[in-house]
């Protein structure tokens, strides 16, 4: 099994378990204040993990360490690993301590002071716990770098199964033991929230523990140190630009979180339900291919034409699944959301997601999916530049992406937050309650209503503060963030591709775009037909049927066009 396939297998297994976790969180917590608080508390400390761990380590530590491993320089590779572990331990301990002590101003900062009351206090409470887990995950990411450099791909990418598994056990315990039938809009009290938060810490410890014995066997006598030599200096030299470039996705998600604080309550929970569905494709295909290529190029020293060839192969490997998944997520988002969240939510003693909530989640998923092909290709292109020693260019391009998300996201989300989904406001008794929270439904088209004037002017003015906390409607603000994310993905990919073309003389074009687009169009038709003819079946049957139908149509079209099973490696 190739390196990318082993990475994909590990990521796929962990993402499937993670999807089960997210489905349970979405179905149990819904779009409640508890859901907003928990998902925000997961995002705040995870910045430590994603920036220091999975982001910067893979781009700065792995190339240098892998080169030493390839040269069989055991002593220097051991010294480098020990020094990086020691420095990471110091930095992580400091940052986790700061996150715990300054949780209140930190939460205030990431929500831009727009949250108050229970939602704000609960987020602070949970952040102080989950920060500990984030620190453990940074060290787990260091283990991942060691294992990847020795071509041990499956274990580190499958290890998050334990992280998700601990939370699944906690969620199932809440279902069994918590009182869900009292008619309240929140699930449980402080005990339930604490169980969820501490399950994150337990899962983080398990994820580190399962990797550590193999790391100790590969790097015999590994102990943290603070020594400094040329190899350590080279890692530090790469670290800051890599931190900027690789961390942009995480910083972008933080911008999403800060922007979402201007939206009606429940927006963060909606983004939390959509993100794993969108990222599973990037993680399984884009990240797996990009990771394996970074390691192989770093170990073999390939340059120019050879790098271009590996990029072409990598892009083909991500284009194929992107063309299959993207039409399903855009045109069949309602089947996906109802097939994952809706049916389970309806089975629970307390249904926390209304039909309008599910529709909003589907719209948001479709918006994010518009940028999926670009995001997957960008990972491969960015890693090729890293392998060539170019870290500053991707860092600057990452900042451009960040600016696009911030500016376009703010304008689009504020505008769309003045639209809401209301199946029937009269029957649901919303009309009398809207005036109490300062909302005025002015116009209705189908299932969409204009709330407090749409299009809105000035375009940056959000809903009134009181209505943001108490509105019973499913506002479309999160859809605006999805559209901005898609736009930013295409801008980033275009800039990365242009920079790579300037670095290598050979072509980096995949050569299969037209054929893949044709196969994706067939999948789109199959998805629309499934929605039209199978929508009456009980969920999740339409989604279960759609999967094999779309795959068969996709593979059949590619075969008809002459793209066989080895199309990715043909050059």
Q: What pLDDT does 506 receive?
A: 72
CA 54/CA 134 separation, integer angstroms? 11
The alpha carbon dihedral of 12, 13, 19, 21 has a sign of negative
Largest CA distance in the chain: 74
Q: What pLDDT does 184 receive?
A: 38
Tokens coding 20: 């089960």
* Other beta carbons less than 10 A from residue 330's beta carbon: 18
Selection from 167, 188, 171, 192 nearest residue 179 by Cα: 188
Q: What pLDDT does 352 receive?
A: 73
CA 225/CA 259 separation, integer angstroms? 41
Strands across the sheet with 441-445, in order? 441-445, 448-451, 419-421, 474-475
- Ordered alpha helix ranges (H), 226-304: 230-246, 248-260, 267-281, 288-300
Domain end point (choices 189, 212, 246): 246
DSSP code per residue over 422-471? -S-TTTTTHHHHHGGGT--EEEEETTEEEES-SS-SSTT----HHHHHH-
Q: Given the structure tokens 């995950």, which residue do they identify?
A: 137
Residues 6+ apart with CB under 8 A from 163: 137, 200, 203, 204, 206, 207
> Is the separation of the CB atoms in 353 and 341 below 8 Å?
yes
159 domain-assigned: yes
123 half-sphere exposure, CB direction, 13 A CA radius: 34
DSSP state for residue 30 in the 8-state scheme: T
Q: What pLDDT does 34 receive?
A: 84
**Torsion of the alpha carbons at 37, 410, 274 and 241, rounded to the nearest 10:** -90
Q: What pLDDT does 488 receive?
A: 94
177 domain-assigned: yes
CA 130/CA 198 separation, integer angstroms? 7
DSSP state for residue 528 in the 8-state scheme: H
377 domain-assigned: no
Q: At what angle do helices 62-70 and 74-101 cross, to 10 degrees?
A: 160
179 domain-assigned: yes
Residues 6+ apart with CB under 8 A from 17: 160, 161, 164, 165, 168
> Is the separation of the CB atoms in 147 and 208 below 8 Å?
no
Domain end point (choices 196, 226, 246): 246
419: helix, strand or coil: strand
CA 496/CA 290 separation, integer angstroms? 14
> Is the separation of the CB atoms in 315 and 510 below 8 Å?
yes
571 domain-assigned: no
288 domain-assigned: no
Q: What pLDDT does 156 receive?
A: 86
∠ CA 395-401-407, rounded to 5°: 135
451 pairs with which residues across the strands?
Answer: 441
Q: What is the pLDDT along the chain (571 residues), one digit of tens a residue?
A: 555 667 767 777 888 898 889 888 888 888 888 888 898 888 766 777 766 766 567 667 877 887 788 777 888 888 988 998 998 889 889 989 998 999 999 899 888 888 988 889 999 999 999 999 988 988 998 898 888 888 887 888 899 999 999 999 998 888 777 554 443 334 546 677 888 899 999 999 999 999 999 999 988 888 888 888 888 888 888 777 766 655 565 666 678 788 888 999 889 889 888 988 887 766 665 555 555 555 555 555 555 667 777 778 778 888 888 899 999 999 999 999 999 888 877 776 655 788 899 999 999 999 999 999 998 888 888 878 877 778 788 878 988 988 999 999 999 999 999 999 987 655 445 555 666 666 777 777 778 888 888 888 888 888 887 778 878 889 999 999 999 999 999 999 999 999 988 888 777 777 788 999 999 999 999 999 999 988 788 888 999 999 999 999 999 999 888 876 555 555 6
CA 68/CA 84 separation, integer angstroms? 14
DSSP code per residue over 339-357? IIIIHHHHHSSS----HHH
Tokens coding 103: 């949780």
Does a cis peptide bond (omega within 30 degrees of 0) precede residue 289?
Answer: no
Q: What pLDDT does 337 receive?
A: 92
Q: What pLDDT does 25 receive?
A: 86
418: helix, strand or coil: coil
Cα 374 from chain centre = 15
354 domain-assigned: no
Domain end point (choices 246, 263, 283): 246
Selection from 80, 1, 64 nearest residue 299 by Cα: 64
* Other beta carbons less than 10 A from residue 247's beta carbon: 22
40 domain-assigned: yes
Selection from 4, 146, 60 nearest residue 386 by Cα: 60
420 pairs with which residues across the strands?
Answer: 449, 475
CA 495/CA 396 separation, integer angstroms? 10
If one counts the domains in the chain, the total is 2
> Is the separation of the CB atoms in 208 and 136 below 8 Å?
yes
Residue range of the domain that includes 108 = 31-246
72: helix, strand or coil: coil
């Amino acid at each position: 099994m190739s390196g990318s396939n082993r990475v994909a297998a590990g990521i796929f297994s962990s993402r499937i378990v993670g999807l089960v976790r997210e489905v349970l969180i979405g179905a149990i917590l819904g779009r409640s204040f508890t859901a907003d608080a928990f998902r925000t508390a997961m995002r705040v400390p995870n910045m430590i993990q994603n920036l220091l761990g999975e982001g910067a380590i893979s781009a700065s530590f792995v190339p240098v360490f892998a080169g030493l491993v390839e040269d069989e320089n055991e002593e220097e590779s051991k010294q480098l690993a020990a020094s990086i572990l020691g420095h990471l331990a110091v930095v992580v301990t400091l940052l986790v301590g700061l996150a715990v002590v300054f949780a209140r101003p930190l939460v205030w900062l990431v929500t831009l002071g727009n949250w108050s009351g229970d939602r704000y206090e609960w987020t602070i409470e949970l952040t102080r716990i989950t920060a500990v887990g984030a620190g453990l995950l940074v060290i787990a990411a260091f283990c991942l770098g060691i294992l990847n450099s020795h071509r041990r791909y499956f274990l580190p990418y499958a290890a998050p199964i334990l992280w998700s598994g601990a939370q699944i056990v906690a969620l199932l315990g809440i279902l069994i033991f918590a009182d869900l039938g009292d008619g309240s809009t929140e699930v449980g009290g402080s005990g339930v929230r604490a169980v969820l938060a501490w399950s994150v810490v337990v899962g983080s410890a398990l994820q580190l523990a399962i990797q550590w014995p193999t790391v100790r066997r590969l790097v015999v006598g590994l102990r943290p140190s603070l020594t400094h030599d040329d190899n350590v200096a080279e890692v530090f030299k790469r670290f800051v630009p890599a931190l900027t470039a690789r961390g942009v996705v995480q910083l972008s998600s933080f911008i999403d979180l800060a922007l979402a604080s201007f939206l009606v309550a429940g927006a963060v929970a909606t983004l939390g339900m959509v993100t794993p569905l969108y990222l599973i494709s990037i993680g399984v295909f884009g990240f797996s291919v990009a990771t394996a290529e970074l390691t192989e190029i770093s170990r073999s020293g390939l340059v120019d034409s050879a790098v271009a060839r590996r990029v072409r192969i990598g892009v083909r490997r991500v284009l194929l699944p992107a063309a299959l998944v993207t039409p399903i997520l855009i045109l069949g988002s309602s089947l996906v959301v109802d097939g994952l969240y809706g049916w389970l939510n309806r089975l629970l003693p307390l249904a926390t997601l209304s039909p309008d909530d599910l529709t909003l989640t589907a719209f948001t998923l479709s918006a994010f999916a518009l940028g999926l092909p670009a995001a997957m290709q960008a990972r491969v292109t960015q890693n090729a530049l890293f392998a060539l020693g170019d870290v500053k260019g991707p860092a600057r391009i990452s900042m451009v992406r960040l600016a696009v998300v911030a500016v376009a996201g703010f304008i689009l989300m504020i505008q769309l937050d003045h639209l809401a989904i209301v199946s029937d406001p009269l029957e649901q008794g919303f009309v009398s309650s809207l005036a109490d929270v300062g909302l005025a439904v002015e116009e209705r088209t189908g299932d969409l209503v204009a709330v407090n004037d749409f299009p809105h002017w000035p375009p940056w003015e959000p809903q009134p503060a009181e209505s943001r906390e108490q509105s019973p409607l499913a506002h479309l603000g999160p859809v605006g963030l999805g559209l901005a994310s898609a736009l930013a993905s295409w801008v980033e990919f275009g800039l990365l591709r242009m920079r790579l073309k300037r670095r290598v003389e050979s072509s980096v074009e995949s050569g299969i775009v037209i054929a893949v687009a044709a196969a994706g169009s067939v999948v789109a038709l199959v998805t629309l037909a499934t929605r039209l003819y199978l929508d009456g079946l009980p969920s999740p049957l339409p989604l279960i049927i759609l999967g094999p139908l779309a795959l068969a149509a996709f593979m059949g079209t590619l075969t008809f066009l002459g793209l066989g099973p080895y199309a990715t490696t043909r050059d």
